[in-house]
Chain A
Amino acid sequence: MTLGRNTEGRDLRTRLLIVGAVFGLGLLVLAINLYRLMVVRYDEFFALSKDNQYKDVRIRAARGEIRDHRGEVLVDGRPSFDVFVTPAFCLKCSTEVLPVLGEWLGWDETKRARVEQSFTAAHGPQRYQPMAVQIDLSRDQLDFLSVRLFQLAGVSIEPIARRNYRAGSAMAHVLGYMSEVTQEELNVVNDTSGSAYFLGDARGRRGVERAFESALRGSDGLRKEVVDARGKVVLDEATGQVMSSDVSAPVPGNNLVLSIDARLQAEAENVFPGKAGALIALDPQTGFIRAIVSRPSFDSNLLSRGVTAEQMAAFAADPLQPMVFRAAAEHYHPGSTFKPITLLAGLQSGSFTPHTVTNCPGGYRLGNRVWRCHKESGHGPVDARDAMQKSCDTYFYRVADTIGIDPIADMGRLFGLGASTKFSVAAEVSGIMPDAAYHQRVTPGGYTKGMALNTAIGQGDVNVTPLQLAVMYAAIANGGAVFKPQVVERVETSAGQETQSFKPELVRQIPMSEENHRLLVDALTAVVNEPGGTAFRSRLTNVMVAGKTGTAQVARLGSVRLKTEQMDYFERDHAWFAAFAPAENAELVVVVLNEHGGHGGSDAAPAAAAVFKKFFELKASDAQGFGPDWQVKAPLTAAPSVLSKPVAKRDEKPDPPAAMALMPVDAGHPSLAGDLPPTQEH
């Protein structure tokens, strides 16, 4: 007899049945739940288990190269070994991995804090993307780290193509540089099209790197690798190979072809006088820039490696402000280089003809004040041509006195002054082209005639950027066509197929009479080529250069005239020279601004002359070497530097150096730094 059947244990029987029922129910619940997971939701979980097996490995697209007009490489990539940390796979990251890594790589406190900060900022899927924590390992670091890497979970070393700016700081403002995307940018940028950015990716900053970021960048490829739960790649047991499948191949970024001629650029860098300023050489028939210098500059390679906040602060604290793109993002008084505008405004008004003669006694009386000419003894009677050649201030004072400020401002605006040039690859300022309304608004006491006089000679409130001046002189040279300055000619795929091409863009055709155009070209030619011209020393033997010097006063001076050397640097005058050549059918405009450099004739014009000389030498040699079209498109696959240099040498017969500076100092040598009448503070 057993208990359950006994009367003694009968009370247990019911409860045993209940217990059995509970057990059965429990197992039934488990079975139903299994059915739900394994049968009903099978597809979902099977897909998830497939997802789990693969890690998406990004195959980075090579960034496009930047080349000059003839195909010479200006910017390309070079391999760099970078250290990456994948937050999701980096176990005990902040307590063990990062401190050890930091010690091995010699990080200081701030660096370590920065890495940790970006590490903790990564959320969601970002945690599965490797994050660059140290770029450009030295060979020693690479050797040291690669054998110890297995000790650090989630840390890897990858070869990355890094930007290589072959000419260092040359054209840095135009080319730009690269730096890491920030967390804030990621949120914004990744919403738009194109392949996604990840922490540690670099983006183009400034210049064409920035303006053509999407074209240069290409799109990343994707490879799926079988990984285990810790993110370690699983090797095929049979073959020992990584188990992976290529899903998509990366598409390399497009190449940019600039209108720059690297050889002309090198010459411009070479001959640029002074420590600050800008030099622009552009084609007056198209607006394409052939060479562009902005000094001081920065090293794009250095910035692309990642500068610290302190380094950036040092840049910002530099009194010369190397980050400022002086060619377009800074404006200056144009000084006498402005005078063609005043001259044209005078002629246009009808009050002046080319033959109207004004006597210059060394100054001009307006009311009870005398506005001085830079030549204290006076130029005597001058007509339009003389006034331009000798830069006679008195003549232009009279024009301004006669027609007022507004016609001058209208003329200036026609030539693009006071407004953006629409140069698309870099920031620019619009300068100031003051008129009566402007002075009413801005100047205490409102507009007075004296302001027109100051404006007439490029002082007062008129401010231009070197690029605006280049565009203006291009329009003078080509008979009135104002072009948008451009630096990018075309975009090509890595295989050399053109995807985008930039044509000259005419902003405005100024109605300029042929007579006025002739007069202006003739007068500007005389500035350089006739004794008494302010740039006579910078003429060339075989090419007619037409141009205008300028010496823009920066500080109000006392009654004592100081020599340049005696003045504080930041109070010295700006030296300008704006020119084109050949005078007829000009092929090149060159504008030189030597900031606080002194006199236009002596401190700016020689550099322009050297650039012109180089330009026409190159033109001749290219014509010989490559046939009638000097703008030879070198095949992009060949090494352009090899192609260009020896050929250029073959024909090189340098002009005698004497040709440029034989003449003694002429009578008209400018001493423009005279006391100017009281004007607004600059």
Chain B
Amino acid sequence: MQIGAQRRMVMNVPWGLAVATLLVSLVGIYNLASAAKGLPTPVVKAQAVYLALGAMTVALVAWVDYRLIQRMAVPIFIINLLLLIAVKFVGHKAKGAESWLVLGPVRMQPAEFMKIGMVLMMAKYFHDDFKPTEPSYGFLRLVVPSVLAVVPIVLVLIQPDLGTALMMVFTATTLILFARIKWQVVVTLLVASVLGLGVLWNDYVRPQSEPKFTVVRHLLKKHQDARIAGWVNPESDLRGSNYHSFQSKIAVGSGGVWGKGWNQGTQTYLRYLPEQHTDFIFSVWAEEHGFFMCLFLLTLYAALLFAALTVAFNAKDRFGAFVAVGIAAMIFWQVFENVGMVTGLLPVTGITLPLMSYGGSSMLSVMLGIGLLINIGMRRHIF
């Protein structure tokens, strides 16, 4: 039985997910080789090391029975919270945000791991709280999961890391919606969205005379404000707040159908792209490889997400399903926001493109998620 179970587990590994993940990662390294030309740090080598570490992480995470992880969800969540708090005190500053924790040669961003921790914690809650007689969540029952989401989000927000916090908001919202909510909550959320759009319209679109009445705008940091203003009016201030967004659009658009060729992107080579090896990596790919290769990359992501949702569909229990949906949502929202921002569709926030962007923490956090997905997928017939 034990041997049989093991064989079954290997058979049940979601290989499509593994292959899609590996393909995206390899495409990422190939792309980095062009994007990082002239950068002082050996980016490609480092990314290869991260990929190897990531693969080991996947194997490690997949091996441990996820029910053990389920039991450990609370401590994992608390440790992540503590790390986030620690970062506020002993964090290393980079680009104005104290989001790095330095331990000897290792530098890590706790926020990246907090995302996984939050998904695990919320999944555990929805698993434990499930009542077959009362499957829908009203306001009262949503208080606890909301708190579980809001606490880490606020901690990430004060780092400040608006981008990651935003991603966590989307991921948590996806999970809550997935948990089946009462229609009153749906209506409330709709009303809230309309109100949000109203605030956006009031603060940024509506022509106002001085003194201006704004709801949120005056609370934002200057660069955040500029980005939203630029996003609302994308053809304005091309030399200022919309500079990066516009240069990225030029890079993507000038790629055309077939692209300029690997290593031939002028926007990339002449450094018109900000953070071209991390946040704006997709622009490099688009400029050099063109529309069809962009579709190819999006298809890989689609395959990855499809495999993730299949894992959720086939999961043995609610915890597994919620974790799988949470991980899938985390990846999806990041892809959506990142590609959206480099093509001028969404405001610019510092969000990496999963598996494509250079960075160890980003790679590891995605790989943790993939490991969890594989873990859940391979154990669908166990127990």
Residue of B at shortest CB range from A53?
A: B266
Interchain CB contact under 8 A, B250 and A49: yes
B249, CB-defined interface residue at 8 Å: yes
A570, CB-defined interface residue at 8 Å: no
B92, CB-defined interface residue at 8 Å: no
Interchain CB contact under 8 A, B291 and A34: yes
Minimum C-beta distance from A92 to chain B (A): 15
Do A19 and B309 form a contact, CB below 8 Å, given A39-B291, A52-B272? yes
Q: Which chain B residues border A30 with CB–CB below 8 Å? A: 298, 335-336, 339-340, 343, 345
Per-residue contact bits, chain B 24-48, to A (CB 8 Å; 1 contact, 0 not): 0000000000000000000000000
Q: Find A34's partner among B321, B325, B328, B343 (CB 8 Å cutoff).
A: B343
Do A38 and B253 form a contact, CB below 8 Å, given A12-B318, A31-B295? yes
Question: Complex Cα distance A29/B340, Å?
Answer: 9
Residue of B at shortest CB range from A48?
A: B250
Minimum C-beta distance from B134 to chain A (A): 12
A637, CB-defined interface residue at 8 Å: no
Interchain CB contact under 8 A, B272 and A229: yes
Which segment, of A3-11, A77-85, A385-393, faces chain B?
A: A3-11
Which segment, of B79-87, B115-123, B300-308, faces chain A?
A: B300-308
Provide the main secondary structure of the chain A interface. Answer: helix
CB within 8 Å of A: which B314-359 residues: 314-318, 320-321, 325, 328-329, 332, 335-336, 339-340, 343-345
Interchain CB contact under 8 A, B270 and A23: no
Interchain CB contact under 8 A, B254 and A12: no
Q: Which chain B residues border A19 with CB–CB below 8 Å? A: 174, 178, 309, 325, 328-329
CB within 8 Å of B: which A1-45 residues: 1-4, 8-9, 11-13, 15-16, 19-20, 23-24, 26-27, 29-31, 33-35, 37-39, 41-42, 44-45
Question: Complex Cα distance A19/B249, Å?
Answer: 29
Question: Complex Cα distance A39/B343, Å?
Answer: 13
A127, CB-defined interface residue at 8 Å: yes
A230, CB-defined interface residue at 8 Å: yes
Count of chain A residues near B, Cβ 8 A: 45
B132, CB-defined interface residue at 8 Å: yes
Interchain CB contact under 8 A, A4 and B314: yes
A436, CB-defined interface residue at 8 Å: no
Per-residue contact bits, chain A 387-423, to B (CB 8 Å; 1 contact, 0 not): 0000000000000000000000000000000000000
Do A3 and B321 form a contact, CB below 8 Å, given A19-B309, A23-B332, A52-B272? yes
Per-residue contact bits, chain B 69-103, to A (CB 8 Å; 1 contact, 0 not): 00000000000000000000000000000000000
B312, CB-defined interface residue at 8 Å: yes
Interchain CB contact under 8 A, B270 and A33: no
Interchain CB contact under 8 A, A88 and B239: yes
Question: Complex Cα distance A26/B305, Å?
Answer: 12
Question: Complex Cα distance A490/B335, Å?
Answer: 71
Interchain CB contact under 8 A, B253 and A45: yes
Interchain CB contact under 8 A, A27 and B301: yes
Residue of A at shortest CB range from B255?
A: A38
CB within 8 Å of B: which A27-75 residues: 27, 29-31, 33-35, 37-39, 41-42, 44-46, 48-50, 52-53
Interchain CB contact under 8 A, B291 and A38: yes
Minimum C-beta distance from A299 to chain B (A): 42
Interchain CB contact under 8 A, A52 and B266: yes
Q: Find A44's partner among B253, B290, B313, B325 (CB 8 Å cutoff).
A: B253
Q: Which chain A residues border B380 with CB–CB below 8 Å? A: 2
A429, CB-defined interface residue at 8 Å: no
B271, CB-defined interface residue at 8 Å: yes
Q: Find B328's partner among A13, A23, A37, A42 (CB 8 Å cutoff).
A: A23
State the B residues within 8 Å of A (CB).
132, 135, 174, 177-178, 180, 239, 247, 249-257, 266-267, 269-272, 286-287, 290-291, 294-295, 298, 301-302, 305-306, 309, 312-318, 320-321, 325, 328-329, 332, 335-336, 339-340, 343-345, 380-381
Question: Known pairs A38-B256, A41-B253, A45-B253. 6 more at Cβ < 8 A?
Answer: A16-B313, A27-B305, A34-B252, A34-B298, A49-B254, A49-B287
**Which 3 A-B pairs rank lowest in CB-CB distance, beginning with the nearest?**
A45-B253, A49-B254, A4-B313
20 pairs, A vs B, C-beta closer than 8 Å: A2-B313, A2-B381, A3-B314, A12-B313, A20-B309, A23-B328, A27-B301, A27-B335, A31-B294, A33-B340, A34-B252, A35-B291, A37-B253, A37-B343, A39-B257, A45-B250, A45-B252, A48-B253, A53-B270, A228-B271
